[in-house]
Each structure stands twice: as structure tokens, then as C-alpha cells.
Amino acid sequence: MKKGLIIICTAAAVSFSSCKKDLLDTAPYGSLATESMWSSDNLTDLGVNGIYNALRLGIQNSGASGLEIYQYDRFGVTAQNRDAESMLQGTITPANGLFSNNWRNFYEGVIRANDAIANIPVKSPSAPAKKARLIAEAKFLRAYFYFRLNQVWKGVPVYLEPVKYDAFTKPRETEEAVWNVIVNDLTDCINEPNLPAKYAKGNSAYGRVTKGAAYALRGKAYMYMKKWAEAAADFAQVKTAGYSLFANYNTLFKEINEQCDEMIFSMQNTGIDGLGSTTQWYCGTRSSFGSCWNTYLVSPTVVDLFEKTDGSRFNWDDVIPGYSSMTPTARQVYFLRDNMTTAERTAAASRGADMSKYLLVGNEDRIKQAYQNRDPRLAACVITPYSTYNGVLGAGVSTVTSRFPYRTENSPTFDLRTDAQTFFYYLHRKFVYEGNTELLNRQYGPIDQPLIRYADVLLMWAEALNEQGDVAGAISKVNEVRARVGMPALQQTDNTKGTFVSGQTDMTERIRQERRVEFINEGINYFDELRWKTWKNTVFRAGNGTQQIWGQNTHVYTWPGDYIYTWPIPQAERERNPKLTQNEGWPQ
């Protein structure tokens, strides 16, 4: 009996122990083992989708990362950051996260593309035509990431094959060599018969790389290489591929038109957590749906660049005589609301407003004149003083007006409310959603982020023609863009008009001007100013800074030296790979 019990118990215990022989062989539940990758048609698709995902790197939902494409406008002419930027204060160093994060994110895209380009031919069982298309897409994306790298660093190490994580030890290539790598990849895409020229609106593949996109990006690369003829030829191919301007600039940036023929290549956004845009959150206001932050603002500089409807330059003194000779602080008076209380007037005076110019009635009407009869893109892109915006108050839709000083967003006043009510800034309207039905959550708006659109191509095309001396050809391209918003055509016949172009040099300036007002909040201007080497004179002109509407500085910009035209190799990376030489002039 006793022995029997022992045997039973022991047997029970032992059988517990041996019930699972593979106990120690565990595998992750939520990810795929490396050996399996690329081994099926589905996995081939997923691997390529993963490269596209790298376009989204840098998007952050807990505060603006400063890494999203539209956010670079803060360094340019067109926008400004509410908060101080070390880049603009001249104190940025190679240890700044801007450089390390971008470097890592762009190379991540390169690595994913390299993985696909190396493994699809040897591992994937997909149909040859499909494989060819996917490799072309991967090459386009690799070219795009190298483009972003070379645009700012001017020569980076080039890896075109998968490399073990600790073998990234190459030195930098020359800027020229990297452009050639980009052109080569894009040329492969263009030569790939299985890559379609364009996807129609609503096509389930919409958002993927097209031949049109490859031509556009290669053209843009040629612009950097100053190969003007090649650039112009590629831009012509974009037109041939079927891309064209969308008729209405005002609705171009709404979700319904995100797949119109103007959009050549866009980062895809959709209203799902983790897959949407953040422009609402960081460019909206407290009156916007979701109670947003006006982290990024429109600069007074670009507002002043919008021409009058007759094509002449805007001049403050035409609206308010003597305006430009006043101090910025004193000018504040012109932006004050009607019927200010005594206390409000006292406060304004103590802030430095020249209250002798204040009109208790008519102050608002006077300033509104400044924004009337201007290029329609101004109203489309900017919430100007005393203009309205369709926001949200509590549970309901509320049309609010941008006024200063702010009183209340409540009925019956309905002032537009910002983060910092004691400051009065120009606010973004482009990519800021209206009412409460256009998106679900401020963290994920559905509107695609255009990376290359046809207006960009047309204006680069104009630049390429102008650089070759074809001023007339350039004018015709610029005029297509102007015609779309109803701005009068540039011409070389009537020199009494503001639209008169005196020659090639003037045309260069006209094209730059057109690009500055066309692409607000699209992440184009900063890189343009770097490419044109105009940044120092435009953004860092004496006295510029983060400015309230009347030109008073919140943060002053300081030019530290020409070295900041090129980004520094991230300090951490130089410490890990001593072969990486630093760009000239950067302090440690």
C-alpha cells in the first residue's frame, strides 16, 4: 500500500514534468522570424509596404517632433515656431536631436529598401511583373530617402546592399556621387515597364509610387545638380504622364481632393490612429476641433509677400500711411479690436501701442483693408485678423473671429482662442480642419500630405527654363499656377504693371516669390531657401524673429555663420564612425 502510493505520487509528479517537451522552444507571437520573410507573395507585399511606412517616421503624437515635413516651414520664410528654435537662434550644435533623428529615420528607409531590393529577386515567389514593380517602388523610395539626406547634409555614406548592424563604417561620398545614386535609382524606375505612369483616383493602389513621381523626383534632383535641361525634360514627362493642376486652390487641401490629378506623390494619411496627419494638432488653435495647439504659425513676412489682386506688390504704407516708419510695437494699435474698454486700452498702451491712432469704431475695418484685394491664396492659407474660422465650441460648431485682445470664445463674442492669448499671430488655415466632421481626432487627420504636387513641378520647370535663359517659357509655367487662383499673368510687354517681368534675374525672383506663397505649410520653402542660398537674407534679415502680426519679435533670429546652410553630421554618429568628416564650420 505504502509503496503503491509512492509510485503513484512519483509518477504523477514526473508526468507533470514531462508533459511539455518543447517547453523551452518559444517564439514571438506578434512578429515574424527573419527566415520566413519575403518567402510568400503576401510577405513580399508587406515588406514593401514597410518601406512606405518609413515615410511616416518622425510623426509624434505627444508634442510636435519637428521632424514632419510640413513642420520644416518653421525654419523658412513662410512659417515660424511659437517657441524658440536653436536653429534660428544660432545655437544649434551637431548633438541636436534634429540631426540624429532625421539621419536615423532616413537611413531606416534606405535599409528597408535595401532589404527589399536584395531579397525580392532571390526569395520572393511573386509573379515576375509584380516583383519588377515592387523593386521599382523600393528604388524610388530609396532615392527619396537619399534625396532627403543629400538635400541637407551634402554628401553622405551610401549603402545599397543590406549590411549587418555593426558594419556601417563607410566614409561619406561626395554630394555629386549621392545625386548620381539617386538619379540611377530613379532612372531604373522610369525604365521599368511594370511601373504605371499614374494611378487613377480611387484605385486601390493609390498612394504607391508611379513613373510620374519618379520623373518629378528625378527632375528635382537635377535641379540640385543644376542640370537644368534634364530637369525640364523630366518635368515635361510628368505632364505627359497625366498630372495637371486642380482647378480650385481653396479646396485642393481638403480630403475629398487628396487624390486629384495635381497630387503626384503624397504621404498617405487616413483617419486611423497611427496613420493620420498631425497638422490639426500642431497648426490648429484652441477653437479648432479637438482643442489644438498653435505650435506652428504663419510668418508676417510671407503674409506681406502676397500680391494685390492686380499683381502689384503689397505695401503697408498704401493701407496705413506711415506704417512702415513706426516701431513694430507702436503699430500694434492698428490690430486692436473695436470698442475696447478703458482697461483694455490702458493695457494696450502699456504694451507700447500708439493709442493716439486708435479708432473706437472702425479700427477693425481699417486693418481689414490690408487683407482685401490680395492674392486669394492669402485667405486660403492664413487666418488673418478679423477673419473668421469654422471652429468648435463645446459640443457645437462655432464660427469664431480672430480678434485682439482676446476676450471670450463664448456667445455672443465668439473670439478665436489660441494657446497664448496675449500674443497675436497669423494662424494657419491650410491643413487645419473645420467644424467637427472632417476628422475623428486631432492626432490623426485623414488628409494626405503632398510630397510632390504638380504646382511644385510647374514652378521648378519654370526655374529650369529660366536658368537656361528661356524667360518666356518660364513665365508661361508660372502663369499656369497664377491663373489657377485668378492672379493676373506675368508679362514682358507692359512695364507699368506689377506683373511686368524685366528679365531673367527678375524672373528668378518672381519664381521664388511664387513658390513662397504657393507652398505654405507644405515643407518646401526651407529647403528652397537653402538651395537658393537665400536663407540668410530672407529669414535672417536684420531684426527678424518669431513675430507677432505687427512685426514685434517674440524670439529673435541670429545668423551664426554660413555653415548652417549645411547640416552637421550628428555628433553621436561621428563618435561611432570616425571616418565621417564634419561639415565645415560647425561648433561642437
Taken as a whole, the chain contains a residue count of: 588
- The three grid cell numbers given for residue 270, joined into one nine-digit string: 487616413
For 314, other C-beta atoms within 10 Å of its C-beta total 19
CA–CA distances in Å: residue 402 to residues 3, 127, 374, 390, 426: 92, 57, 18, 11, 9
Secondary structure of residue 390 in the 3-state scheme: strand
Residue with cell 505650435: 295
Which of 159, 500 has the CB closer to other proteins? 159
Cβ distance 115 to 86 under 8 Å? no
Q: How far is the CB of 412 from other proteins (least distance, A)?
A: 12
Q: How far is the CB of 415 from other proteins (least distance, A)?
A: 11
Which of 223, 326 has the CB closer to other proteins? 326
Q: How far is the CB of 523 from other proteins (least distance, A)?
A: 19
Which of 235, 425 has the CB closer to other proteins? 425
Residue with cell 553622405: 156
Q: How far is the CB of 263 from other proteins (least distance, A)?
A: 12
Q: How far is the CB of 467 from other proteins (least distance, A)?
A: 32
State the sign of the Cα–Cα–Cα–Cα dihedral 187, 189, 192, 193. Answer: negative
CA–CA distances in Å: residue 343 to residues 183, 329, 339, 418: 64, 19, 11, 21
Which of 104, 531 has the CB closer to other proteins? 104
Query: E strand or H helix at 427, and its extent?
Result: strand 427-428
- The three grid cell numbers given for residue 468, joined into one nine-digit string: 537656361
- The three grid cell numbers given for residue 86, joined into one nine-digit string: 536653436
Which of 67, 379 has the CB closer to other proteins? 67
Q: How far is the CB of 261 from other proteins (least distance, A)?
A: 15
Cβ distance 569 to 94 under 8 Å? yes
Q: How far is the CB of 452 from other proteins (least distance, A)?
A: 17
Q: How far is the CB of 12 from other proteins (least distance, A)?
A: 7
Cβ distance 364 to 338 under 8 Å? yes
Which of 289, 519 has the CB closer to other proteins? 289
Cβ distance 555 to 539 under 8 Å? no
Which of 406, 526 has the CB closer to other proteins? 406
Q: How far is the CB of 149 from other proteins (least distance, A)?
A: 10
CA–CA distances in Å: residue 317 to residues 35, 424, 466: 70, 21, 32
Query: E strand or H helix at 466, and its extent?
Result: helix 454-467
In terms of DSSP H, where are the helices of 69-174? 86-89, 97-123, 128-153
CA 404, 407, 410: angle at the middle one, nearest 5?
Answer: 125
Which of 57, 79 has the CB closer to other proteins? 57
Could you give the CA distance from residue 382 to residue 261 in angstroms, rounded to a whole number? 24
Q: How far is the CB of 121 from other proteins (least distance, A)?
A: 18
CB-based contacts of 420: which residues, under 8 Å, 6+ apart? 82, 294
Q: How far is the CB of 198 from other proteins (least distance, A)?
A: 14
Secondary structure of residue 448 in the 3-state scheme: coil
Which of 200, 483 has the CB closer to other proteins? 200
Q: How far is the CB of 566 from other proteins (least distance, A)?
A: 16
Going by the DSSP 8-state scheme, the letter that residue 28 receives in this structure is -
Which of 48, 474 has the CB closer to other proteins? 48
CB-based contacts of 56: which residues, under 8 Å, 6+ apart? 267, 275
Which of 100, 399 has the CB closer to other proteins? 100
Which of 205, 489 has the CB closer to other proteins? 205
Q: How far is the CB of 306 from other proteins (least distance, A)?
A: 27
Which of 151, 268 has the CB closer to other proteins? 268
Gyration radius from the chain CA atoms = 28
User: Does a cis peptide bond (omega within 30 degrees of 0) precede residue 450?
Assistant: no
Q: How far is the CB of 473 from other proteins (least distance, A)?
A: 36
Cβ distance 213 to 140 under 8 Å? yes
Query: E strand or H helix at 266, and its extent?
Result: strand 263-267
For 224, other C-beta atoms within 10 Å of its C-beta total 19
Pairing verdict, β 296-298 and 79-81: antiparallel
Q: How far is the CB of 9 from other proteins (least distance, A)?
A: 6
Which of 90, 376 has the CB closer to other proteins? 90
Which of 164, 496 has the CB closer to other proteins? 164
Secondary structure of residue 346 in the 3-state scheme: helix
Query: E strand or H helix at 505, and its extent?
Result: helix 504-518
